[in-house]
Amino acid sequence: MRLTTKFTLWYFAIMLVVLLIGGAIVYYEIQWKLGEVEVARHQRLNDIIALQIRDGGDYTGHPTRKRATVTLLPADSIPKGNASFYTRGLAWNPEFQTDEYKLMVTSFYTIGTAHYRITTYSFIPSFYQLLPGVVDSFKWILLVLLVLVIVSGGLISKYILAPFKRTMRSIQRFDLKQKEPIRLPETKTSEFQELNTFLLQLTESARKDYQSLKEFTENASHELQTPTAIIRGKLDLLMESDIRDEQAILIAEMQNALERLSRIHSSLTLLTKLENKEYKAGEPVCISNLARETLAAFDELIQMKSIDLRVHIEKGVYIPMHQSLADLLLTNLISNAIRHNNVPQGAAKGLIRVELTHEGLVIVNTGREPGIPTKELFERFRKGNSGSDSIGIGLAIVRQICELSHFDIEYHYNSGLHMLAVSFLPKLPASKLLQNLSLPLQVDAAGGRSKNRSL
């Protein structure tokens, strides 16, 4: 629910309460005032009648006596201290032939030595008759207020919340990687000033933390790669010198370990960079072309291992992602499929199937059963085959790239076949791709290495 709507509803509820109480007050006020005015009028009339009596003369039939009763009282029956009182209540009105609200004012006078009681009355509108009028007018007031609150609520909140909305927009545009501190709009509202100050501090510290982390990664990378480069260079030079066979073996072993070290290091650095989201999607990359190029680059390896390769690549699959990441993704997946390829028992040769459609990419290859569940292969340093030479970070990189690009990835192993599917569409689970695989999962009967490229 929008803030303005909330405010309007609350105001409306408050208005309703206020108007109900106000209505009751107005109702009772009118009722009391009407009685008061009427009583005052009758007291004045009573006074006039008393004056007429004092003057003497015959006033019978005078308009003042129309609804008046004058009674001569014995001296002892005059109530003490009370010159006048009034009563009211429903009574029969003979003029209108109906029960009406009757106000009766009784006053006591002493004129000369005689004591008089003068009572006048009149029929006034009943309070119950006023009620609908009160309710009606308050209904209109409520309606007018409602319209005003809704209209002004929209306009005023737009004006008051404008700085807040601008702040929101700035925050949405905020990027940890940006070099400048975030710029927030000026505002005179103290709450928004507070919010802006807080946001400024928060984003600034996040930005600085990110920067220092990035610098640390880069420095660590720099500081470690240089000594590695030195050792590698020295070994290169040492190889040239006059060495014995056993020394050559030692050098070769060092070379191997160094290679591993350097690869672990560069992969970890790459993973950090991926996690830091340093590679942003640029222009859409033509995955179709890239897949063909990558396969061509590995063509000789595939031939050497005499793998049966079948490829189905749809034309013009463009995905918005960083060119290098697309490259890494394909290289890692295809090289994995080649590297971990094994000729299954009873078969002539291993196979690789690559299917690229607009929905996603599926790579199937023959291979040994992994020693751990396929899900765990995406973890760092997890290998399906602990004896292998790989460092087990390729799939971690693949997963990170998929997460960055919002791809779904699935890895299945089923009776000698490794199946890896990457779905490019956010709503399509990768497992769906595996069900719709169109390529044959058997080695060609003819045994020939065929490429089935539908362009």
How do 114-124 and 98-111 pair as beta strands? antiparallel
Q: How far is the CB of 425 from other proteins (least distance, A)?
A: 27
Lay out the site mask for other proteins across 365-394 (x = CB under 8 A, - = otherwise): ------------------------xxx-xx
Task: Kindly identify the residues of this chain, within the stretch 315-354, that bind other proteins according to CB under 8 A.
Answer: 324, 328, 331-332, 335-336, 338-340
Residue 353 DSSP SS3:
strand
Separation CA 354–CA 296 (nearest Å): 13
**240 is a site residue for other proteins (CB under 8 A):** yes
Q: Compose the 281-300 pattern: x for residues touching other proteins by CB under 8 A, - for all others.
A: ------------------xx
Under the binding rule (CB under 8 A), the answer on residue 225 touching other proteins is: yes
**DSSP state, 198?**
H
Piece of 11-19, 21-29, 231-239, 347-355 that binds other proteins (CB under 8 A): 231-239
Q: Is 78 in the site for other proteins (CB under 8 A)?
A: no
| Residue 249 binds to other proteins (criterion: CB under 8 A) | yes
Q: Closer CB to other proteins, residue 117 or residue 380?
A: 380
Binding mask 39-58 for other proteins (x = CB under 8 A): --------------------
Q: How far is the CB of 3 from other proteins (least distance, A)?
A: 42
Piece of the chain touching other proteins by CB under 8 A; list 61-69, 70-78, 252-260, 437-445: 252-260
Q: How far is the CB of 443 from other proteins (least distance, A)?
A: 22
Cβ-based nearer residue to other proteins, 150 or 258: 258
* The one segment of 46-54, 242-250, 357-365, 372-380 that binds other proteins by CB under 8 A: 242-250
Residue 239 near other proteins by CB under 8 A: yes
- Distance set, CA 206 to CA 130, 136, 190, 200, 353 (Å): 68, 60, 24, 10, 45
Task: Specify the stretch interacting with other proteins by CB under 8 A; choose among 60-68, 122-130, 178-186, 273-281.
Answer: 273-281
Stretch that binds other proteins, among 85-93, 168-176, 225-233, 417-425 (CB under 8 A): 225-233
**Shorter beta-carbon distance to other proteins: residue 18 or 239:** 239
Q: Which stretch binds other proteins (CB under 8 A): 36-44, 103-111, 198-206, 228-236?
A: 228-236
The crossing angle, in degrees rounded to 10, of helices 3-55 and 127-160 is 150
Between 358 and 449, CB nearer to other proteins: 449
* Binding region for other proteins (CB under 8 A): 218, 221-226, 228-237, 239-240, 245, 248-249, 251-252, 255-256, 258-259, 262-263, 266-267, 269-270, 273, 278-279, 299-301, 304, 324, 328, 331-332, 335-336, 338-340, 389-391, 393-394
